Structure 1
Amino acid sequence: MISHFSIGRLSHSWLYAASVLAMAVMDAFAKGASAVPIAQTLLVRGLIACTVIVFVARSAGMESPIRIPARPGLQTLRGLLVAGTVATFFLSLRHLPLADATAIAMIAPLLLVLAGRFVLKERLHPLQLAACAAGFAGMLLIVRPGGIGLGLGAWLALASAVLYVALVLVTRVLGANSQATTTAWYGNAVVTLLCAAVLAVQGWTPPTALQWATLAGLGVAAAVSNLLHTQALRGVEVAHAGTLDYTVLVWAALLGWLFWSEVPGWSTIAGSMLIAGAGISAMRSGARGAAGRR
């Protein structure tokens, strides 16, 4: 049973924080695998993720997730969005320092606030709107004064954020009638099959031993992050989880410095703090608004 894992005694908050760290480590491995064709990187990641999801489902006594799910068309769209979200972010790491790409992509939670208002017709608090503006200003602070500009890397990171918002919206539509493990497995299976089709045309470039180790590390880190994330969300409040998400900015800066001697400039630090502060403020404002409507 998954509840028998040794992590069971840890608080859900610590589990969630650990999942964010694992995600940062995955991104670092992705940057380390920059020389590997992106389709090969996603193929290895998808194969490991599918294997871990099946293992977890069986360990928890759940039905096998390997099946054609309900609403297969929408599930396939979700899988394509998973592929696009991950591929664009991993590709952005080939052009930007790890801290910069992560900070730009973290505009996604603020875009979700706007999507909630304009797509889902949710109420938008004035403070949330101000936070979104501040977060956008933080993103501009990173891509402009630091000399990066809106180059290919910045556009890819922004594209990843936009695709992530679409992914969350589709997942929300599926959530009510789909088993979580089936949705997760099917999404990764779509990514794996898509990459296999691309490689059938593009051809396979044999990775070196070091690249194989990096790809394996990426896949394991992704699986660990997903496992901890799923377990933590059983008990952590959504607003608190969203706050912890922004700790990835610290880990990205630290890992970038340790492995690639990437020292964040003042604009990256200031922009990251502005984005994190704006995101936390938006979530807290939304939580207070929801409490007031009960």
Structure 2
Amino acid sequence: MHSDNLHRGAVLMIASGLLFSVMGGLIKYISVHLPSEMVVFFRSAMGLLVLLPWVWRRGFRQLKTTRLRGHLLRGLAGLAAMYCYFFTIAHLPLAEAVLLNYSTPLFVPFIAVLWLGEKISARLWLAIGTGFAGILLILKPGLALFTPVSLIGVASGMFAALAMVSIRRLTRSEPILRIVFYFSAVCTAVSAVPLAWRWQSPEPGLWLLLVLVGVLASLAQSLMTRAYAHAPAAQVGPFTYSTVLFAAIVGWLFWGEVLDVLSFAGALLVCLAGILTIRLAGRRAAPMTGIAGPR
């Protein structure tokens, strides 16, 4: 239930975007020194640790479920999105990596049609088509500027969309606490496996940054959730794209990254299409971004 305070919701969402962009910058820096597998594990483990006091207060009986298969699918989809996203951050300009991940709303309607039998309106088709045109400009297929890593960025958006739609199914019978807990538990357990052959002992300063990544992600998601509590998703959801702007600023300040003309034009189209898709989809899909994505 929301309080219809768009101004407060927008401020909270923009603050969330700022924290997510700083987290992305930290991931980009850490990835120079440590493999992405380690970053994903610590991000997941920190999220689980933050949840435990909440679960303790509510009681562990709240975790009893008959939908383990659904939780596993949601967890694996979200984890795949996280792996793709963090890998992309390490190899592409920060703003471009964030932007490709934020293509998620463009994929949600397709999965919802195939899985939930939902319908796509003509206006929504137009918004989606605009978004994919923007993605093509960013990918630049057939040009020397094309990088295969960009496809992994698109995959992060696709996997995140699958996670979002799986949450929509789970919320029919499962409370949010249970969904978030099983997501963190699945991600932590599965992401621990590659550490057997990818572990590197971090330097003391990197330990602190790894913990900070998890803390920032948890804070950012908390602010995002609060933002959706203050205003309808169709109104406050578009402010999530402030993350792209902040990421561009972080990338420029610390790595001198500047989007080329095609990528900049594609960024405008993807942001526009994402905003339109969120508004047209209304409250059905947008609120899930706070608990579905890899961020």
TM range, smaller chain: 0.7 to 0.9
- Answer yes or no: is 1:265 the counterpart of 2:263: no
Which residue identity lines up with residue 41 of structure 2 in the other structure? L
The corresponding residue for 1:167 is: 163
1:241 maps to what in 2?
236
SS of 1:247 mapped into structure 2:
helix
Identify the residue that residue 84 of structure 1 maps to in structure 2.
80
Corresponding residue of 1:19: 16
Q: CA deviation at 1:38?
A: 2.1
The residue that corresponds to 1:134 in the other structure is 130
Give the whole-Å Cα distance in 2 for the aligned partners of 1:181 and 1:107.
Answer: 26
Partners of 2:27 and 2:86 within 8 A in 1:
yes
Structure 1 distance, partners of 2:20, 2:61, is 23
Of 24, 29, 32, which residue of structure 2 is paired with 1:32?
29
**TM-fit CA distance, 1:22:** 1.7
Give TM-score scaled by structure 2 length: 0.85
CA contact (8 A) 1:45 1:218 kept: yes
Shift in CA distance, 156/236, structure 1 to aligned 2, threshold 3 Å: same
Cα pair 1:16 1:228 within 8 Å, conserved: yes
Q: 2:36, 2:83 within 8 Å by CA — same for their partners in 1?
A: yes
Give the alignment partner of residue 195 of structure 1, picking from 191, 213, 220. 191
Structure 1 stretches of 4+ with a deviation exceeding 6 A read: none
Q: CA deviation at 1:64?
A: 4.1
Task: Give the letter aligned to residue 237 of structure 2.
Answer: G
Query: Distance between the aligned counterparts of 1:65 and 1:210, measured in 2?
Result: 39
Shift of 1:222: 0.8
Q: Which whole-Å CA distance do the structure 2 matches of 1:49 and 1:64 have between them?
A: 17
TM-score by length of 1: 0.85
Contact in 2 for aligned 1:97/1:256 (Cα 8 Å):
yes
Superposed counterparts of 1:143-222, under 5 Å: 143-144=139-140, 147-149=144-146, 151-200=147-196, 202=197, 204-222=199-217
Shift of 1:241: 2.9
Partner of 2:273: 278
Deviation at 1:287, TM superposition (A): 4.4
Letter in 1 for 2:37: A
Deviation at 1:11, TM superposition (A): 2.0
Q: Which residue number corresponds to residue 293 of structure 2?
A: none
Q: Structure 1's 105 and 234: CA in aligned 2 closer, same or farther, altered over 3 A?
A: same
- After TM superposition, the structure 1 = structure 2 runs for residues 82-121 of structure 1, keeping only pairs within 5 Å, are 82-121=78-117
Q: CA RMSD in A?
A: 2.3
Structure 2, gaps ≥5 residues long? 1-6, 284-295
Indicate the SS of the match to 2:211: helix
Report deviation, 1:179. Answer: 2.1
Count of aligned pairs between the two proteins: 275
Offset at residue 56 of structure 1 (A) = 4.0
**Residue 225 of structure 1, aligned match among 214, 220, 225:** 220
Query: How far 1:79 sits from its partner (Å)?
Result: 1.3
Aligned to 1:6: none
2-structure distance, mates of 1:213, 1:27: 15
Shift of 1:127: 1.7
Q: Decide whether the 8 Å contact of 1:99 with 1:256 is kept in 2.
A: yes
Identity rate, percent:
28
**1:30, 1:218 within 8 Å by CA — same for their partners in 2?**
yes
Q: Gapped runs of 5+ residues in structure 1?
A: 1-9, 289-294
2-side partners of 1:225 and 1:166: how far apart?
21
Q: Determine if the alignment matches structure 1 residue 125 to structure 2 residue 121.
A: yes
